[in-house]
Amino acid sequence: MNKTVLITGASQGIGAVLAVKFAENGYNVGINCYSEETLENGGRQTAEECRGHGVEAECFIADVSRFEQCEAMTKAVVGRFGTIDVLINNAGITRDGLLVKMTEQSFDDVIAANLKSVFNMTRHAGAVMLRKKSGKIINMASVAGVYGNAGQMNYAASKAGVIGMTKTTAKELGKRGITCNAIAPGIIKSPMTDVLSDEIKGKMLAAVSLGRFGTAEDVAHAALFLAGADYVTGQTIIVDGGLAM
C-alpha cells in the first residue's frame, strides 16, 4: 500500500517538483493549493503529472495561514487517502524590504504564511500521526533563517522560527515515532532568479562553492531522504551548494 504525502503550496515551484518526485517514488500525493486560481494555474497539472507515475493524487484548496482551513483540509486528505504519512510544510511568500521601510502588513503577512502555517498544519496533521504512532514532518526553512539576510527581516524571522519549531516538534513527538526536520535551501533557480541581470547572477554565484544555482530537484532529494530516515530528527539540512559555510 502506497504511503501518502501532503505538501502545502504545491501548485508550482519547489512544491510542485516535490509532489512529482514523491509520486515517482510511489507516494500518493495530496497537493495543497492556496486558491481556485492556483488550482487552475498549476495544481491540476501537477496532479496529472503525479498520476502519470501510477499513484493517486488530489488537490486540496486551503489558505494554510488559517487554522480552521488547515483542520478541514487535513480531514479531507485523511478521508481521501486514509492517513498522512509525510507532511511537507512548503508554503511560503516573500514581501522583501529594508527594515526602516517595511510595513507592518508586510511583516504580518509573511509571518502568517511562512510560520503560523507550519504550526497550523503540524497541529492537525500531527494529531493524525500521533494516533498511528508514526510519521515524518519536513519543514521548509531557508539559509536566511540561519544567517539572516538584509532586506528580509520578515522572511528571515519566519524561517528562523520554523527551525525553532522544528526542534520543538521533534522533542515533543519523537517518543511517538514521529520525526521532524527542516530543509534550508540557498539560492534556488526559479522565475525570480531568471529575470536577474547577468551581473547580479555573477555576484550571487561567486559566493556559491559549487558555482551554480540550486534546483528544486536538489531540494526534493533532501526531502526524500528525510522522508525515509527513521533516526534523523530535529535537524536542519542546508541545501545551498556551499553558500553559507
DSSP state, residue 39? I
What cell does 194 get? 531568471
143-171 pLDDT, tens per residue?
Answer: 999 999 899 999 999 999 999 999 999 99
pLDDT computed for residue 200 by the predictor: 74
211-245 pLDDT, tens per residue?
Answer: 999 999 999 999 999 999 999 999 999 999 999 77
Asked if residues 152 and 144 have their Cβ atoms less than 8 Å apart, the reply is yes
Buried b (16+ CB within 10 A) or exposed e, 8-30: bbbbbbbbbbbbbbbbbbebbbb
170-208 pLDDT, tens per residue?
Answer: 999 999 999 999 999 999 987 667 766 788 788 888 999
What cell does 165 get? 519549531
Is residue 87's pLDDT more than 90? yes
Per CATH, the homologous superfamily of domain 4-187+215-239 is NAD(P)-binding Rossmann-like Domain (3.40.50.720)
Pairwise CA distance, residues 202 & 241, whole Å:
15
Catalytic residues, by residue number, are 155
Pairwise CA distance, residues 15 & 91, whole Å:
8
What angle (nearest 5°) sits at the alpha carbon of residue 240, between those of residues 239 and 244? Answer: 120
Which of 20-29, 63-72, 131-140, 144-153 has the lowest average pLDDT? 144-153
Q: Residue 194's CB: how many other CB atoms inside 10 A?
A: 9
pLDDT computed for residue 190 by the predictor: 79
Q: What is the CA radius of gyration of the chain?
A: 17
Buried b (16+ CB within 10 A) or exposed e, 206-238: eebeeeebbbbebbbebbbebbeeeeebbbbbb
Phi-psi region of 192 (alpha: psi -120 to 50; beta: other; left: phi over 0): alpha
42-56 pLDDT, tens per residue?
Answer: 999 999 999 999 999
Phi-psi region of 242 (alpha: psi -120 to 50; beta: other; left: phi over 0): left
pTM score, whole prediction:
0.96
Domain limits of the chain? 4-187+215-239
Residue type, 119: F
Helix (H) or strand (E) holding 29: strand 28-33
DSSP state, residue 165? H
104-141 pLDDT, tens per residue?
Answer: 999 999 999 999 999 999 999 999 999 999 999 999 99
Asked if residues 234 and 166 have their Cβ atoms less than 8 Å apart, the reply is yes
